[in-house]
Amino acid sequence: MNNYIVSARKYRPTTFNSVVGQRALTTTLKNAIASGKLAHAYLFCGPRGVGKTTCARIFAKTINCLSPTSEGEACNQCESCVAFNEQRSFNIHELDAASNNSVDDIRSLIEQVRIPPQIGKYKVYIIDEVHMLSQAAFNAFLKTLEEPPHHAIFILATTEKHKILPTILSRCQIYDFSRITIKDTVEHLQYVASQENVKTEPEALNVLAQKADGGMRDALSIFDQVVSFTGGNVTYKAVIENLNVLDYEYYFKLTDAILINNVIDGLLILNEILSKGFDGNNIITGIASHFRDLLLCKDPKTAEMFEVGASIRQRYIETAKKCSNEFLYKAIDIVNESDLNYRLSRNKRLLSDLTIIRLCQLSSPQAGSEDQKKKQVIAPIFTKQESTQQATVKDATQPATARPKTVEIKRPIAPTTPKSDKPMNTPSTMGGLGISIASLNQKQEKEDEENANIVTNVLKEKFTPLQLINEWKAYTESLVEEHHLKNTMLNCLPDLIENTVFEVVVNNAIQAQRLLEYKMNILNTLRAKLKNSSIDMKLRISEDNEKKLAFTPAEKFNLMMEENESLRKLKDEFGLELS
């Protein structure tokens, strides 16, 4: 049985002309060799599997060729080329920096640099994954990299250029390798398939190229895998089955259901996709890419950017004719929003279902109404009867006399404290500050009456105490400059005492004043977030804290004197007065 060699190794390029997708870089290197203008250090950087190490080997082989061709390629016949092809050349040294990244490894390399080549002109040192070198190893390498012997050339290869020291970068000529395009990948896979007598479909190779994400080594590895699965007949269906790729057909079915406002079919298609084992997030991102491709296919010029087989591109163009630009813009925005919220969502399946529902209702007759434009409204799904109209917020420019009162906001009666029957709205002061809760209540009632005419949506959704506390804390995050209020709200959490009424126990009248000043903002936010228009807040000052806490300088000093009698004697003896 012959030794099997994977395609990535068997068809590895051996000349500059056979390198795929890096024409500009290979031309530059060939011209540098032809003119004899060789740098002493090169840095090849780019994604995995795009030809960095391959180009380094070809470059090392070509500059040592004793009789290069007129095209600037190695002859493959001289002693140096034969030694390189048989992997016994002493002029080329490869070092894997991922496993040889210490100072001792670099020092050993520096000692070898001093020895001149026996055959050829140059000794080439290829250091792969150079970003893995330690800080000390980089520093030990600096001097040799800057002023090596005339016969030494260093080629550094890395996938993460940003991790390399600037002092190293400044000593190298930098070549950025780009991802290989889908077109070039497909052409090379067709060449490999012809050499291996494998039958292929253009759509199948296109899926392989997209799966490889610009890496030729990945593309050839996946190609070998699919060939083994299919037995030499690489078809589109076999590829998507073996690689677990979602078929284009599902996207087209989903688009048809969305365009005719068929929510039921949309949900059934989504359920069928999920039952095949696909992740919900991958489905959402796939739908987003699908609508983006439809948008590209709206115009023949941008359709060229869509790199797929001819038959699939034509189907996209036909489907794109059915979709308006406005529809595609809104669909992409909805799916992108779902993609951003997917990771944070606790019920990911529900988020996926809601995404499909919103997409299907984009083409409904109500989608272009003013109500839909002002806010997101999900229409009934399982009935075609017209739903009852909801109360909406009228335009603020409408005269006040024309605006009906749907909700009248009134000041709630202040609760009584547990230890006393004195209502909260009776005159009460704190620590000689002269702040009256009653006066604050009267002031707040006037502000509430001014806002009583505002028309709001009547919302009656239930909420839990935990939801109330979470939204309370979320509101505090928006208080950037109001540090006192933020600390008060974080220390005094709400307690739900009725279905829609919560109580906040504060420590002093100052905290009560701040909460009263921001009461309407807090309530409006909580009502919107918890979707309940009846939410109200009550305040109560804790009598225990009222006795213990001191806020003015006089109160603090009196409290200190109660704990330390020596302070009182010192004050009386010297006749001190607190300013």
Q: What share of the chain is helix, strand, coil (3-state, %, to 5)?
A: 55, 10, 40
Q: Are residues 277 and 357 in the same domain?
A: yes
Question: Is 213 inside a domain boundary?
Answer: yes
Starting at the edge strand found earlier in the chain, the sheet holding 123-128 runs 92-96, 123-128, 152-158, 41-45, 173-176
Residue 447 sits in the same domain as residue 513: yes
Cβ atoms 376, 355 nearer than 8 A: no
* Residues 515 and 446 occupy one common structural domain: yes
Q: Is the pLDDT of residue 208 over 70?
A: yes
Q: 367 pLDDT exceeds 60? A: no
- Model confidence pLDDT, tens digit, residues 60-99: 999 988 888 888 888 888 888 888 888 888 888 888 888 8
Summarised one tens digit per residue, pLDDT across range 243-297 is 888 888 888 999 999 988 889 999 999 998 898 888 888 889 999 989 998 888 8
Determine the structural domain holding residue 533 and report its residue range: 437-548
Are residues 227 and 281 both part of a single domain? no
Which range, of 326-340, 497-511, 542-556, averages the lowest pLDDT? Answer: 542-556
Separation in Å, CA 379 to CA 59, 257, 362, 388: 65, 16, 11, 10
Split at pLDDT 50, 70, 90, the class of 125 is very high
The answer to whether residue 160 is domain-embedded is yes
Q: Judge if 151 and 86 occupy the same domain.
A: yes
pLDDT of residue 380: 56
**Residues in CB range of 278: below 8 A, 6 or more apart:** 244, 246
Residue 554 lies in a domain: no
Residues 33 and 153 in one domain: yes
Please determine, for residue 376, whether its predicted confidence score (pLDDT) is greater than 70.
Answer: no
Judged against a pLDDT cut of 70, whether residue 343 lies above it is answered with yes
The answer to whether residues 69 and 30 touch, using CB atoms and an 8 Å cutoff, is no
Task: Tell me if 487 is assigned to some domain.
Answer: yes
> Is the pLDDT assigned to residue 470 strictly greater than 60?
yes
Residues of the chain above pLDDT 90, percent: 12
Residues 132 and 16 in one domain: yes
- Residue 560 domain flag: no
Quote the pLDDT of residue 111: 87
Position 42 scores a pLDDT of: 93
Would you state the structure tokens that stand for residue 166, as one six-digit string? 């600037």
The confidence score (pLDDT) of residue 454 equals 44
- Which 3 state secondary structure label does DSSP give 222? helix
Residue 122 shares a structural domain with residue 190: no
pLDDT on residue 174: 93
Query: For position 76, which CATH number holds?
Result: 3.40.50.300
- Dihedrals phi, psi of 406, to nearest 5 degrees: -100, -30
How much is the pLDDT for 345?
A: 87
Counting the structural domains of the chain, the total is 4
pLDDT at 364: 67
pLDDT digit string, tens, across residues 518-572: 888 898 888 888 888 888 998 888 876 544 555 567 777 777 877 787 878 887 8
Domain shared by 288 and 333, yes or no: yes
Q: Classify residue 384: in a domain, yes or no.
A: no
Q: Evaluate whether 156 touches 42 at the Cβ level (below 8 Å).
A: yes
Q: Which residues pair with 448 in a beta bridge?
A: none
CA-wise closest residue to 23 among 50, 41, 49, 61: 50
* Sequence-ordered strand ranges (E) for 46-91: none
- CA 189 to each of CA 183, 220, 453: distance values in angstroms, whole numbers, following the listed order: 10, 7, 71
Of 146, 176, 206, the last residue of a domain is 176
Q: Write the CA distances from 443 to 236, 411, 412, 513, 561, integer angstroms.
A: 74, 11, 14, 11, 37
- What local confidence, expressed as pLDDT, does residue 430 receive? 39
Q: Give the distance, in angstroms, between the CA of residue 495 and the centroid of all CA atoms in the same chain.
A: 37
Distance CA 193, CA 202 (A): 12
Characterise 95 by phi-psi region: left (phi > 0), alpha (psi -120 to 50), beta (else): beta
Residue 227, Cβ neighbours under 10 Å: how many?
20
Q: Could you tell me if 163 and 193 lie in one domain? A: no
Task: Spell 369-388 as b/e; 16+ CB within 10 A means b.
Answer: eeeeeeeebebeeeeeeeee
pLDDT at 440: 52
Q: Is residue 142 part of a domain?
A: yes
Please give the distance of CA 282 from its chain centroid, rounded to a whole number.
14
422 within some domain: no
Over residues 169-188, mean pLDDT: 90
Picking from 464, 466, 468, 486, the residue whose alpha carbon sits closest to that of residue 477 is 486
CB 191 within 8 A of CB 10: no
Tell which wins on pLDDT, 553 or 184: 184
Closest by CA position to 545, among listed 505, 514, 573, 518: 505
Contact 91, 78 (CB under 8 A): no
Mean pLDDT, the chain, integer? 79
pLDDT category of residue 44 using cuts at 50, 70 and 90: very high
Task: Indicate whether 191 and 152 sit together in one domain.
Answer: no
Q: Which residue has the tokens 């496993």?
A: 99
Q: Write the CATH number for 455.
A: 3.30.300.180
- The pLDDT tens digits for 30-40 are 888 888 888 99
User: In this predicted model, which residue has the larger pLDDT, 420 or 293?
Assistant: 293
What is the pTM (predicted TM-score) of this model? 0.57
b/e sequence 527-561, b meaning 16+ C-beta within 10 Å: bebbebbebbbbbbbbeeebeeeeeeeeeebeeee
How far is residue 483's CA from residue 480's CA, in Å, rounded to a whole number?
Answer: 7
CATH number at residue 282: 1.20.272.10
User: Among 394, 392, 360, 395, which Cα is nearest to 378's?
Assistant: 360
- Residue 144 corresponds to which tokens in the numbers above? 């040799």
Question: Does residue 220 share a domain with residue 143?
Answer: no
Confidence at residue 80, expressed as pLDDT on a 0 to 100 scale: 87
Domain boundary among 149, 176, 203: 176
Predicted local confidence at residue 336, as pLDDT:
92
- Asked if the model's pLDDT at residue 400 lies above 90, the reply is no
Mean of pLDDT values over 453-478:
77
Helix (H) or strand (E) holding 327, with range, is helix 325-342
